[in-house]
Structure 1
Amino acid sequence: MKKSLCALALAWAALAAPAQPAGHYTPTPENLAAREDFRKAKLGIFLHWGIYSTFAQGEWYLQNYVPDRMEYAKAADAFYPHRFDARQWIRAFKDAGARYICFTTRHHDGFSMWDTRQSDYNIVKATPFKRDVVKELADACHEEGLSLHLYYSHIDWMRDDYPMGRTGRHCGKDSTKSDWPHYFRFMNAQLTELLTHYGKVGAIWFDGWWDHDQDSVPFDWQLHEQYSLIHRLQPACLIGNNHHMAPNEGEDMQIFERDLPGENKAGFVDKAAQVSRLPLETCETMNGMWGYKVVDQNYKSVDDLIRLLVSTSGKGANLLLNIGPQPNGELPALALDRLKGLGQWMRTYGATLYGTEAGPVKPCAWGATTERNDTVFVHVCPAKDAEVPQGVSLPLKKKPKTVTDYLSGKRVAHTYRRGQLTIELPATLAIPDHVIIIKR
């Protein structure tokens, strides 16, 4: 009880403390160490799960299909994921080679997946399930050694005090009751709960900034004040924001949605945004949707997921791979199948990714490179229908000590001339990724 009271007192003290002046964020040593640990992780699992899963039409169901928020909220009465087992989930992710998870504590529909005191619209008070999912996942992560990252939406299609943005306009909200100061305090109180009641949190992953990106007057999200709160409560906690722009002061990682850093093939990133020196993360779906959609069975193959993971690592980024759990609490069978296949590959090849940086050749038609210390890993993984090259070339400042096959350890034929290493490839390559080791 004394520990709980002390934690509560510290939390409210953090809320009441004056905000740090804008533009003066200095990461603590713990935060800098956490950034480096995050850089090394390479694979995380994203989980979009909430009452929207009961409709089996994706996480934007309230925005896209239901014209009334009160009708949508009735889904909580039917949300009873009786097959949910946090430890089974986390073990499946760990076996797949993931080093962290990111869970949607509250998506744009405003439903909280933990026992928050700030609203009764949550999984414990509003559903017959009455279990704190965030608590169970947090406990399982801490037991299994995975880092816990928490997604939190800045948007709320349910609450009247959230100022109307470009989404949620047809959900039945009363725009005359907009009250940003009240909503801002609500969010910070919820974030305080998440950062004081659930143990160590590796990162807070924000989403929704883009909801006001078309306002005639720039919207002030008061990010610095919110970020300062988070860093006071847990200095090592990383902050990421899926705003598709260059990182703001106080952010500890840069997020790319459905895109490799710097490519902007999805068209989300602001043209002025550059790839920063912060840790990088690409988030992508296993199939087509983020939240569970029963008809979306178009899952990427294991080979394609491996190529995606290699490409993100070749950009020096982590891959946050999304799964939309079913309303009964189970992970889709196809998702489990892909996790199993990914895990089998990672047990052999994970050492060529974990703890590496982007190598001398970024992702290209034939594959990518990663490197760690004096070792370069050449990943030859062309797309399924692509032409397999007879050799690959990469720049090296000096002649390598050795060039060997990763699996057999045998010497690989190569030539070195004027700062360029050319490696001969065998007629038959390991599928989907043939790895060659270069020792400098």
Structure 2
Amino acid sequence: MPMQPWFTEAKLGIFVHYGIYSVDGVPESWSLYTGRLSHEQYMKQLEGFTASRYDARAWARLFARAGAKYAVLTARHHDGVALWDTAHGALDVVRRTPASRDLVAEYTQALRREGLKVGLYYSHSDWSHPDYASVTHPEPPNDSVATHPLVTPADGVDDPAAWARYVAYRDAQVGELVSRFAPDLLWFDGEWERSEEQWGMRALSEQILAEHPQTVLNARMLSYGDYATPEQGVPLRQPAGPWELCLTVNESWGYQPQDQAHKSVSQLVRYFAETIAMGGNLLLAVGPREDGTFLPEQVERLEGLGDWIAKHAEAVHTTVAGLPAGHHYGPSTLSADRRTLYLICFDPPRETVSLRGLRNAVRRVSVVGTGTPLGHRVTGGLGEVPGVLWIDAPAPADVDGQATVLAVELEGELDLYRGTGRD
């Protein structure tokens, strides 16, 4: 199926890692996998998970304020603890924690009330399920997958019947999410621990799309995913097809109180601008505390990014990837009609901003957010090789504290010279 247009137009999503791991502020599921906590210690967090101040409507308003068009919530991480009222498996926050609430239902309703698309994260793997460590990966990607007791049978002997039970459980839980919540996006994870055939990815994809054909699937559905999901670093080259950069506000996915390395608003604006300039979305991760509230530092970052997006909306929404590297020293976007370039300048421009290789005549240049027009001229050029467009630097009053954006209105659709110059 063709990609759903809303996804490529969204630009920003919010990734929420919320679960019992926020009680002790430990790495989500991984503190169980690495042995930092025993299974008993890890699951004792069920007793302290209250969600006592969880307000899905406040979440949705904050995400909209940040400029996001969708969000993704960890409906079930690798630890196997479901955040919704599931009829499959013995672990969910409705029955096993003081929260006693279907958090996914509230989240889904709140997002839709704010006009946001609903994304749900679900891990193929479940390190708590009794039937999970029942088969071996035919080509393990690393030693851990080949030997870890939460992943692989201790005796190395496969139990196909147990694995069939596990896949049926996985499919039933995904079926609940689709039938009950009709998610716009399913964000899978954990796929590296089994092969595509073992996971039954084709059958799972067909099951999802038969129920809700508009659901977008991420790349952790392997051959049946719709878009790529690089993590924690902007690619140096634009990935082929739709994609999304998954990035944490600090260094942790979930709530970890010792992690105070929050990226500044300016840094987040840079990540965001560089991502949309290559045609991707930014999926920005925040981790609520166990009571359901976000740290003030994370709220401040979301609101700051939202302020920048709101001021520069025309350079963000209804745009596509901008110029290839070398034409402008910074990221850029291009209007959908390909007649306006948006040049993003992270540092205050000095004297001029240059643009190389532009064949088009320029109708007007202005500062996005203030509308102030800027002088511009072309120098040089010979034959088919265009000259350099020089744009006067904006006055200090027009310089944005995070990143200044210049709108270059063109005569006709963008026409770039990509050659090597005259011999």
Q: TM-score, normalised by structure 2?
A: 0.84
Deviations 1:348-407 (A, max 9, x none): 11221112111123599942010111111111114x9xx978433243232222222222
Q: Which amino acid aligns with 1:241?
A: A
Q: 1:56 aligned to 2:25? A: yes
Q: Secondary structure at the match of 1:415?
A: strand
Corresponding residue for residue 240 of structure 1: 218
Where does residue 398 of structure 1 map in the other structure? 360
Structural mapping, 1:107-146, within 5 Å: 107-146=77-116
Name the aligned partner's letter for residue 405 of structure 1: V
Name the CA distance, whole Å, in 1 between partners of 2:204 and 2:386. 49
Matched residues in 2 for 1:171 and 1:364: separation?
51
Distance 2:123 2:57 in 1: 25
Q: Give the 5 Å matches for 1:309-328.
A: 309-328=272-291
* Structure 2 residues not aligned, in runs of 5+: 138-143, 411-423
Determine the C-alpha separation between the residues in 1 that align with 2:7 and 2:301.
23
Instruction: For residue 186 of structure 1, give the secondary structure of its aligned residue in structure 2.
Output: helix
Deviations, residues 299-324 of structure 1 (Å, cap 9, x unaligned): 00011111111000011000000001
Number of residue-to-residue matches in the alignment: 386
Note if contact 2:57-2:110 (Cα within 8 Å) is conserved in structure 1: yes
Match of 2:416 in 1: none
The answer to which of 426-435 and 366-375 deviates more is: 426-435
Alignment of 1:32-71 (within 5 A): 32=2, 35-59=4-28, 60-71=30-41
Relative distance call for 1:67 and 1:78 in structure 2 (3 A) is: closer
1:335 and 1:38 map into 2 onto residues whose CA distance is 24
Q: Percent identity?
A: 30
User: Which residue does the alignment assign to 1:97?
Assistant: 67
The alignment's TM-score, normalised by the length of structure 1, stands at: 0.81
Contact 2:358/2:389 (8 A) holds in 1: no
Say whether 1:169 aligns with 2:148: yes
Q: What letter matches 2:239 in structure 1? A: V
Check the 8 A contact 1:67/1:172 in 2, yes or no.
Answer: no
- Residue 189 of structure 2 aligns with which residue? 207
Q: Which residue of 2 aligns with 1:419?
A: 386
1:174-253 equivalences under 5 Å are 175=154, 179-198=162-181, 200-212=182-194, 220-242=198-220, 248-253=222-227
Mapping for residues 421-440 of structure 1, pairs under 5 Å = 421-426=388-393, 428=396, 429-440=399-410
- AA at the equivalent of 1:211: E
User: Take 2:374 and 2:179, find their aligned partners in 1: how far apart are those partners?
Assistant: 54
Q: Which runs of 5+ in 1 are unaligned?
A: 1-26, 264-273
Letter of the aligned partner of 1:239 in structure 2? L
2:128 to 154, 158, 171: 158
Aligned-pair CA distance for 1:65: 4.2
The one of 247, 251, 258 equivalent to 2:232 is 258
CA deviations 1:104-145 (Å, max 9, x no partner) are: 111111111111100120010111211000000000011111
After superposition, what is the alpha-carbon deviation per residue over 1:181-209, rounded to whole angstroms, capped at 9, x for unaligned? 111111110011001112x3111111112
Match in the other structure for 1:11: none
C-alpha separation in 1, matches of 2:342 and 2:151: 54
8 Å CA contact 1:369–1:379 kept in 2: the answer is: yes
What one-letter code is carried by the residue in structure 1 that aligns with 2:9? Answer: K
Distance 1:375 1:98, change over 3 A: same
2-side partners of 1:251 and 1:171: how far apart? Answer: 26
> Using a 3 Å threshold, how does the CA distance of structure 1 residues 41 and 100 change in structure 2: closer, same or farther?
same
Are the counterparts in 2 of residues 325 and 332 from structure 1 also a CA contact under 8 Å? yes
CA shift for structure 1 position 173: 8.5
Which residue is 2:239 aligned to?
A: 275
8 A contact 1:159–1:173 mirrored in 2: no
Contact 1:158 1:173 in 2 (8 A): no
Q: 1:435 to 1:363 in 2, by over 3 A?
A: farther
The 3 A distance-change label for structure 1 pair 95 and 225 is same
Deviations 1:177-234 (A, max 9, x none): 8532111111110011001112x31111111122348xxxx86322111111111111
Q: 1:109 to 1:435 in 2, by over 3 A?
A: same
Task: Please point out which of 293, 296, 304 is paired with 2:267.
Answer: 304
In structure 2, what is the Cα distance between the partners aligned to 1:287 and 1:420?
43
Q: What letter matches 2:216 in structure 1?
A: L
Report if the CA contact (8 A) 1:76-1:123 is conserved: yes
Q: CA deviation at 1:54?
A: 0.8
Between 366-375 and 320-329, the greater mean CA deviation after superposition: 366-375
Cα separation, partners in 2 of 1:253 and 1:173, compared to 1, 3 Å: closer
Cα deviation for residue 257 of structure 1 reads 1.2
Q: Does the C-alpha gap of structure 1 residues 424 and 231 become closer, same or farther in structure 2, counting only changes over 3 Å?
A: same
Q: What secondary structure, in the 3-state scheme, does the structure 2 residue paired with 1:436 have?
A: strand
Q: Distance in 2 between matches of 1:120 and 1:414?
A: 69
Q: How does 1:328-347 map onto structure 2 within 5 Å? A: 328-347=291-310
- Structure 1 pair 161–171 and aligned structure 2 pair: CA distance change class (3 A): closer
- For residues 68-119 of structure 1, the C-alpha deviation after alignment (integer angstroms, 9 at most, x for no partner) is 3233222112211201100001101101111000011111111111111001
Q: Which moved more, 1:92-101 or 1:336-345?
A: 336-345
1:87 corresponds to which of 23, 36, 57? 57
Answer whether contact 1:360 1:395 (CA < 8 A) is retained.
Answer: no
Rg bigger for which structure? 2
CA distance in 2, matches of 1:408, 1:233: 47
Q: 1:415 to 1:365 in 2, by over 3 A?
A: closer
